[in-house]
Amino acid sequence: MKLTLNGRFLQRRITGVERLALELSRAIGEILSESGAANIDVVVPARGDIVRETAIALGTPGPVITATGRFGGQLWEQVELPKERPDAWLLSLCNIGPMIRRRQAVIICDAQFILHPKSYSIVFRLWYRFVLTVLSRRAEAVFTISEFSKSQLERYGIVPQGKAHVLKLGVDHLFSSAYDHGVLSRHGLKGKRYLFAIGSLAPHKNLAMLVEAFRAAALQDVCLVIAGGGNAKVFRDAGLAQAPNIHYLGRVSDAELHALYSACLAFACPSLSEGFGFTPLEAMKFGRPVVATTGGAVPEVCGDAALYADPSDPAAWSDALRNVVENDALREKLGTNALVRVKEFRWRDTAAQFLSVLRSLDRR
């Protein structure tokens, strides 16, 4: 079984979907190597630069990366990529792949662009709906990342009923880089108790509600720390509340992220919905208690290892934040449950499930 990875995502900075592609392809490569099979071939557009940190995350030594074609971006993906290695399974792991390629395994993460249209431009929504609808019918193998996502993709006609396989993703990629504890000093957090969140200004990430709920909770000697987005200034410019105990960090490295997770009092995930929920699961890997949304796949992923609050109810979030800060026994219980829960999420198991589906389709 020959595998070729659609490496267009290597030209982007790492967010959730890029993390999925990196860790899954690396785990697949490890399984193939142990069985004596060749590693995955990786093809990228010749036009455009590979992001160094993303390529490094693919693994060292990683698979050979080949630049192909004359175009870049979506034009390369739709016009030139379909012709590459036609006898191989093309792995398109970041939602989008070439619509005319049949021998393809595609992961469509969620239907957020339909559920939360204010977070996306109308051009993006129309293009995504068209491409994903065609792609899910043409590709031989379609995967998604939670039962919630599967139900929504089927509900809106993006994926045919019963075609998508639900992958159980991993979280054991953490601890692969050093901890940069200097991030605490750089942002005035050393020795302080803080609640931690990660997000962007996309409306469905619901950070404005979290800030409102935190301020209303009036927690003594506790800070709210929010990472993500391009830089800290974008949060201030967007009108999110400013206060001495609210810190907007902007984008952070993996090493900084690990330090922030490990030192936080608790983690908060206030999104209106998530197709999976990487960030609360990552916090749980560090044994951190989580206050989580009841929306989307987060309860499915976090199970009994989180304290839940309705993302449309700031008062409920204030109560939950106050509870997790003031109740030592609750934090200890949630942290213990978290460490048990995350053992179920291993990238090697995800890769084995993925390969099993492809082999089954080949046998047919």
Domains of the chain: 3-170+346-363 (3.40.50.2000), 182-344 (3.40.50.2000)
- Mean of pLDDT over the chain: 93
Region of 157 on the Ramachandran plot (φ > 0 left; ψ -120 to 50 alpha; else beta): left
What digits encode the pLDDT tens for the residues 92-115?
999 999 999 999 999 999 999 999
What digits encode the pLDDT tens for the residues 192-229?
999 999 998 888 999 999 999 999 999 999 999 999 87
Cα separation of 217 and 282, whole Å? 25
pTM of the model: 0.92
What digits encode the pLDDT tens for the residues 57-83?
887 667 889 999 999 999 999 999 999
Q: What is the mean pLDDT of residues 15-24?
A: 92
Q: What is the pLDDT of residue 322?
A: 97
Q: Which long-range contacts (CB under 8 A, 24 or more apart) does 344-349 make?
A: 344/168, 345/168, 345/169, 345/170, 345/171, 345/172, 345/281, 346/170, 346/172, 347/23, 347/24, 347/26, 347/27, 347/169, 347/170, 347/172, 347/173, 348/27, 348/30, 348/31, 348/170, 349/168, 349/170
Query: Which is higher by pLDDT, 55 or 315?
Result: 315
Residue 177 has pLDDT above 90, yes or no: no
Query: Which is higher by pLDDT, 139 or 237?
Result: 139
Q: At 300, is the pLDDT very low, low, confident or very high (cuts 50, 70, 90)?
A: very high
